[in-house]
Structure 1
Amino acid sequence: MGRRLLFLCHRIPFPPDKGDKIRAWHMLEHLAKSWEVELGCLVDDPADLDHAATLRATCAAVEAHTTGNRAQAAGRALLRARPGLPLTLGWFHAPRLRDWVARGLAAGRYDAVFAYSSAMAPYVMGARTPGAPPRRVLDLVDVDSEKWLAYAAGARGPMRQVWAREARTLLAFERRAVAAFDRSILVSRQERQRFVELAPEAAPRLDWVDNGVDLARFDATRRHPNPYAGGPPALVFTGTMDYRPNIEAVSWFAREVMPALQTQRVAPVFHIVGANPTEAVRALARLPGVYVSGSVADTRPYIAHATAAVAPLRIARGIQNKVLEAMALGVPVIASPEAFEGVRALPGRDLLVAEGVAETVHAVMAVVGGAHPGLGAAGRAAVARGHDWAVTLRRLDPLLGPGTAARMDAGLAEATA
């Protein structure tokens, strides 16, 4: 039997159709080439269980447990609330998965453990193992506590205190989790640096693995049917549309930017493409020039035939897959500074970065007017250089393999120089 790895994930990593699942799937697929992987995961959408066969073809074992709907998860989080602990831990608590993990660790079945997201760290922390414990790596992905801090800054009334408490307690837990694991990684060098600023003691145990993009799937030369059927220049935003940062981004763009764009001689239209649009998002379709598609079978045609992809996120952590995917398809991207962070690209050459209404309108109309004819091709070249999964995931291998410590110490010396 080869080396066996326990891979824990807070959401079933297939299909890779949204941010956290995209990163998890590519990491899992990569590690399965050199490890016998046992996957333990949670499932928040029972329909995803239809894809379990794909995971079983990749993994030596799959243990998947449903978490129920949002109301059930929220109730579980409140029931398990304890002083000083974030509600996140209760939200992702599954007793049967916990017991399965504990049995495997107690039996000494694993040579290494990879926990994807801080929510999965408790399944490993404090677990009993015979002899020396397996090497343990935690992917924080991003500094999630900072997201809750941003939520608190924009909230009013009791929710301001709820989000502030979650930010405070989750950061404290993230620090404990990093101390309990052999190594921890984040999604970009910038995100690692932010965590070091918040938790200086963690610096020697931290590294990063950049997000990538599937260049074969998001191929700029592949033809797709045009979903827009002609008409005005199309601007597109893609993402899961019940996720607060996405809701806030499209609401701002539709209500603040689109009125200014509608006064232009060549007025573009705005397409919001993504699953689970909330009532607030659906209501945006009543505004002039705004369209809400809801879930689509494939987002690529909507991106490929757009004049530009916009990513006006105000709250963003890590590297945005929507930005990488549009760039890979050779489509001009206009991103907020928050959405640009971590992307290995040069603003003005590979994409446009705009902040505020006036800058965003100017950037959109520049693209619509043909002022940046090489932007799409330059964007594709940039992500091919800096965000090919085949390249970014090379940083993952030494974390779990023999001789990891020496190689990682050398890498960290370079990263902190």
Structure 2
Amino acid sequence: VDALVRERRFDAAHVDTIGLAPLATRVPAPLVQNHHNVESAMMERRAASAPSALRRALYRSEARKLAELEWRCADYTALHLAVSELDAERLRERVGAADVRVVANGVDTDWFAPRRALGHGDGGLVFAGAMDWYPNREATRWLVREIWPLLAADRPERRLAIVGRAAPAEVAGAARADARVEAPGFVGDVRPWLDDASIYLCPIRDGGGTRLKVLDALAMAKPLVATALAVEGLGLEAERHYLRAEAPHEWLAQVRRLESDAALRRRLAEAGRRLVARRFDWSVIGRALVAAHRDAARAARPLRSISGGTRAPAPDTAAPLPTRRCPDAAESEAG
């Protein structure tokens, strides 16, 4: 970074995670900080659902440290980018009157485009996501442990593909024990797996931000069954863009509905594809991101005088932070 600054002048500095923000103080330009998640909020949520008291204490401690880092980094950040209005609200609660703008995650709708007929019903069920990311890992464990046995017993000819690297032991074991379950690991191109499937399952119950996997699935015109948390921040409407399921028996009921109703499959497929093309295509997101960078550069505010004393006090790192729950998080996650 020091070498680059000596060689060139920069109008703005963009950092893609809060962990890199301190490094950007070396760049004499307004800082734009991108938040894929509000890290402290995500850790608070993880603490709330941790299975042991020790893990809960550890995650709460991490949440306090992350909240303090978010607060301190606001001192030298010209513009914060959040992926949803919900995350923007969470971030403002932590950093006060800082400039926070929403620039959503996006998807290349030309690349992720269906080849097969919309709403076709001759494929199986699919989930795609890297399982070294803990929300995906826990989601797939829950899927094979509690949801798939109901689906398999109800209709023995059903098939399930869980696509992505670092499959946990439960997923790998299910694929070995049951010929109807596939776990191919990392694939160079996920589109054929999505295209062949009839229904995309997203049983995410933890994490933060918004889920790119959901945007990919909708761009591929997949009828989607998901938890409310899995689609959090995307503006999806249940029964219009996806079918909501929380408890295992609800997953069974929603999959049954889709398998037995071709018109419903097609309606969800069309609505999901339209939504992402209109709101989340990279051409739309790119314009918003460019505008944000231009505004940050034109502001030309000194790097360390952005907050002007208007931010909220730093969080009390000796006391637990209040845990904010999104709608439906109590019943039900984000990558």
User: Normalised by the size of structure 1, how large is the TM-score?
Assistant: 0.65
CA distance in 1, matches of 2:226, 2:298: 37
CA distance in 2, matches of 1:404, 1:386: 26
In structure 2, the residue matched to 1:109 is 9
In structure 2, the residue matched to 1:53 is none
Q: Do the aligned residues in 2 keep the contact of 1:336 with 1:355 (CA within 8 Å)?
A: yes
Give me the CA root mean square deviation: 2.4
Aligned partner of residue 363 in structure 1, secondary structure: helix
Aligned-residue sequence identity (percent) comes to 33
In structure 1, the residue matched to 2:217 is 326
Q: CA offsets, 1:118-160, max 9 Å, x none?
A: 01101123x3x6xxx3121110221122222233331425433
Say whether 1:391 aligns with 2:275.
no
- How do 1:120-269 and structure 2 match up within 5 A? 120-125=20-25, 127=26, 133-153=28-48, 154-156=50-52, 158-199=54-95, 201=96, 203-221=97-115, 233-265=123-155, 267-269=157-159
Aligned partner of residue 124 in structure 1, secondary structure: helix
Q: Do the aligned residues in 2 keep the contact of 1:145 with 1:170 (CA within 8 Å)?
A: yes
In structure 2, the residue matched to 1:345 is 236
Aligned partner of residue 401 in structure 1, secondary structure: helix
CA distance in 1, matches of 2:227, 2:141: 14
Q: Which amino acid aligns with 1:142?
A: N
Question: Aligned in 2, Cα 1:357/1:287: closer, same or farther, shift over 3 Å?
Answer: farther
Q: CA offsets, 1:31-80, max 9 Å, x none?
A: xxxxxxxxxxxxxxxxxxxxxxxxxxxxxxxxxxxxxxxxxxxxxxxxxx
Q: Which amino acid aligns with 1:146?
A: A
Q: Which amino acid aligns with 1:346?
A: E
Question: Aligned in 2, Cα 1:304/1:212: closer, same or farther, shift over 3 Å?
Answer: same
Aligned partner of residue 255 in structure 1, secondary structure: helix
Q: CA deviation at 1:330?
A: 1.1
Q: CA deviation at 1:163?
A: 2.2
Structure 2 residue corresponding to 1:379, chosen from 255, 267, 272:
272
Q: Which has the higher contact order (CA 8 A, sep 6+)?
A: 2
Instruction: Structure 2: state its 5+ residue gaps.
Output: 301-335
Question: Aligned in 2, Cα 1:390/1:162: closer, same or farther, shift over 3 Å?
Answer: same
Alignment coverage as a number of residue pairs: 292
Q: Which amino acid aligns with 2:237?
A: L
CA distance in 1, matches of 2:260, 2:123: 10
Q: Do the aligned residues in 1 keep the contact of 2:74 with 2:98 (CA within 8 Å)?
A: no
Choose 311-320 or 155-164, whichever is displaced more. 155-164
Q: Do the aligned residues in 2 keep the contact of 1:344 with 1:387 (CA within 8 Å)?
A: no
Choose 148-157 or 134-143, whichever is displaced more. 148-157
Q: CA deviation at 1:266?
A: 6.3
Bigger strand fraction = 1
In structure 1, the residue matched to 2:332 is none
Q: Which amino acid aligns with 2:229?
A: E
CA distance in 2, matches of 1:197, 1:135: 22
Aligned partner of residue 310 in structure 1, secondary structure: strand
Q: CA deviation at 1:404?
A: 4.5
Choose 177-186 or 209-218, whichever is displaced more. 177-186
Say whether 1:284 aligns with 2:177.
no
In structure 1, the residue matched to 2:325 is none
User: Normalised by the size of structure 2, how large is the TM-score?
Assistant: 0.80
- How do 1:54-133 and structure 2 match up within 5 A? 101-105=1-5, 109-125=9-25, 127=26, 133=28
Q: Do the aligned residues in 2 keep the contact of 1:135 with 1:400 (CA within 8 Å)?
A: no
Q: CA offsets, 1:257-295, max 9 Å, x none?
A: 112212324652221101122334322324544321111
Aligned partner of residue 212 in structure 1, secondary structure: coil
In structure 1, the residue matched to 2:204 is 313
Q: Which amino acid aligns with 1:270?
A: L
Instruction: Structure 1: state its 5+ residue gaps.
Output: 1-100, 224-230, 407-417
Structure 1 residue corresponding to 2:164, chosen from 250, 259, 274:
274
Q: Do the aligned residues in 2 keep the contact of 1:104 with 1:110 (CA within 8 Å)?
A: no
Question: Aligned in 2, Cα 1:334/1:320: closer, same or farther, shift over 3 Å?
Answer: same
Aligned partner of residue 153 in structure 2, secondary structure: coil
